[in-house]
Amino acid sequence: MTTHHIAMATRDGRWWTVTVPSVDGVTQARRLSDVEEMARELVAVTTNVPLDGVVIDVHVKRVGDVDVEADLAAIHADREQAAELERVASERSRRLVRALVAQDVSLRDIGAVLGVSHQRAHQLAGGGRPPA
């Protein structure tokens, strides 16, 4: 049986303090790369389950006065927003290319308008692979 736990790591001087709320336990690790293993060992010993049955999800909370968790959440939201904007821009590019193709504008000219190669304009027009 596999058990899943969250370990919260906080930098404390030169060490990482690792808290696992589900077992009300605390341990330390010298390096962030060691946090998961230390938390797994803590859970295994505390709950008397085999080490290979423990899965740990590490969350870095703070490093000094830096709220790492909050900054990571903001970065994740920014990346999601950027991906959505990229999807919208790509769809607008495809619509513009198709509209220009319908007006008999050459793919080379469409590429120049969009600032892309004529091969990319061909792809955006729905032509699949560009001509050789």
- When the pLDDT of each residue in the chain is averaged and rounded to a whole number, the result is 93
What CATH number does the domain containing 36 carry? Answer: 3.30.160.250
Q: What is the pLDDT of residue 21?
A: 97
> The domain containing residue 82 runs over which residues?
77-127
- Quote the pLDDT of residue 126: 87
Contact 19, 60 (CB under 8 A): no
Do the Cβ atoms of 78 and 70 come closer than 8 Å?
A: no
Residues 29 and 7 occupy one common structural domain: yes
What was the pLDDT predicted at 99?
A: 95
1 or 31, greater pLDDT: 31
Best CA proximity match to 96, nearest among 82, 83, 112, 72: 112
- Judge whether 108 lies within some domain: yes
Work out the average pLDDT over 70-81.
97
Report yes or no on 72 lying in a domain. no
Q: What is the tally of structural domains in the chain?
A: 2
Residue tagged 């790492």 (tokens) = 68
Task: Assess if residue 120 is contained within a domain.
Answer: yes
- Residue 23 in tokens: 């077992």
Is the whole-model pTM more than 0.85? Answer: no
How many whole angstroms from its chain centre is CA 112? 34
Q: Are residues 48 and 18 in the same domain?
A: yes
- Residue 132 maps to a domain: no
